[in-house]
Structure 1
Amino acid sequence: MSEEIAVDSQELGEKIVTVLKTIYDPEIPVDIYELGLIYDVFVNEENEVKILMTLTSPNCPVAESLPAEVEEKVKSLDLVSDAEVEITFDPPWTQDLMSEEAKLELGLL
């Protein structure tokens, strides 16, 4: 009888967030997580990750490359079997979605 090591989903979630905090919006010196661009992160039993995120605007210059970068960096985690990014503009991003840390960094507080 073989024992499977259960992956702690909270631990995996924290690792995913850590990776997301290494990805920056090229126009704003704050990571995409603190900017509030990540709306949700789903992980299923097979450790496939789906990330629901937005961009600061539909005309964002990194609309093509940023989701691909997020996918690649999340896929690089050992415990992640696959990653997919879905872009949504509902609800549209506003500065209200930024963390206190991001607002402070940008002098908005």
Structure 2
Amino acid sequence: MKGKEELRNERFIRSKNELTNRSKEAFNESTDRPRQWARKKATESIEQSIREKLRSILDPEVGINILDLGLVRRVSANDEDIEIEMTLTSPGCPVGPLILQEVENAIKASWPEHDVLLSLTFDPPWSPERISPAGREALQI
């Protein structure tokens, strides 16, 4: 049978270990925050750079870039992949395959270390409301 002193020491050691473990968890969490913030900022910067690159690709039928035309719905990036969700002005767009190939080529040329994942959706369908103010100005509408 353990004496009172031994039990007190065991409780003290257990409490000290629990505090140490909690302190380690809190420290790890606090040191992860700046890294997570930096990673998020880097991702946002890449995504913004991708958008700027997409701004250089023109829809040959309309003559304005695919970003201002509202064909790009979503851009996301991580350490390995770049995902771009797009639409076209119509499902039967005759230059659709050309635009998609230009997007893939431009992104791969600028970020060769990433896999480029393009997805095409028509839900909801494209409409002129998706054109940006800069696109409207370029089209004079």
Q: Fold match, TM over 0.5?
A: yes
Deviates more, 1:59-68 or 1:77-86: 77-86
Deviation, 1:79, is 6.7
Deviation, 1:44, is 2.4
* 5+ residue gaps, structure 1: 1-5
Instruction: Tell me the C-alpha RMSD between the 2 structures.
Output: 1.9
Letter in 2 for 1:56: T
Residue 73 of structure 2 corresponds to residue 39 of structure 1: yes
* 5+ residue gaps, structure 2: 1-38
Letter in 2 for 1:11: S
TM-score, structure 2 as length reference: 0.67
**1:15-30 maps to which residues of 2 (within 5 A)?**
15-30=49-64
1:8-57 CA-to-partner distances (Å, cap 9, x unmatched) read 111111210111001010111210001110000121232x1110000011
Residue of structure 1 equivalent to 2:14: none
**1:56-75 maps to which residues of 2 (within 5 A)?**
56-75=89-108
Letter in 2 for 1:40: R
**Alignment: residue pair count:** 103
Higher helix share: 2
Alignment CA distance shift 1:72-1:79 (3 Å): closer
Letter in 2 for 1:85: L
Bigger CA radius of gyration:
2
TM-score, structure 1 as length reference: 0.85
Higher relative contact order (CA 8 A, sep 6+): 1
